[in-house]
Copies of this chain bind each other. A is one copy, B any other.
Amino acid sequence: MAEKRAPYCETTVIHGEVVDRVSKMLMPDQVTASIAEFFKVFGDQTRIRILQVLFEEEMCVCDIAYLLNMSQSAISHQLRVLKQAGIVKYRKDGRVVYYSLDDEHIQSIFEQGYQHVMEAKEKR
């Protein structure tokens, strides 16, 4: 049984056994923080649009900016976020920098998000 109360909900543990059992299965905070950090990258429309473009083809910064009708700077900033998350990689050819996907799982995750959105649409 849970012996002590946290600073909150101090009056009673409503379901002590359940709490005890699940508390043993919790991931370290470091892991849950990393997972949240990873998904945060997908939680921005600009980055989703960039990824969608890169699913189709490797592409340079200027062309992405043109396609999405956004500033080169904005795209460059977001590509850095994607790069730091290990989601895209780049290669240089002269002064042109080509970005492409760096993780096979990304497309699958993306598609599951797309599916969820589409199913939610049907329900309405």
Contact yes or no, B29 A45, CB < 8 A: yes
Least distance between A7 CB and chain B CB atoms (Å): 7
What is the copy number of this chain in the assembly? 2
A60 an interface residue at 8 Å Cβ cutoff?
Answer: yes
> Which residues of A are in contact with B by a Cβ distance under 8 Å?
2, 5-9, 12-15, 18-19, 21-23, 25-27, 29, 31-45, 47-49, 52-53, 56-57, 59-60, 62-63, 65-67, 69-72, 86, 96, 103, 105, 108-110, 112-117, 120-121, 123
Q: Which residues of B contact A63 (CB under 8 A)?
A: 13-15, 18-19
Bound-state Cα–Cα, A45 to B31, Å = 9
Least distance between A84 CB and chain B CB atoms (Å): 11
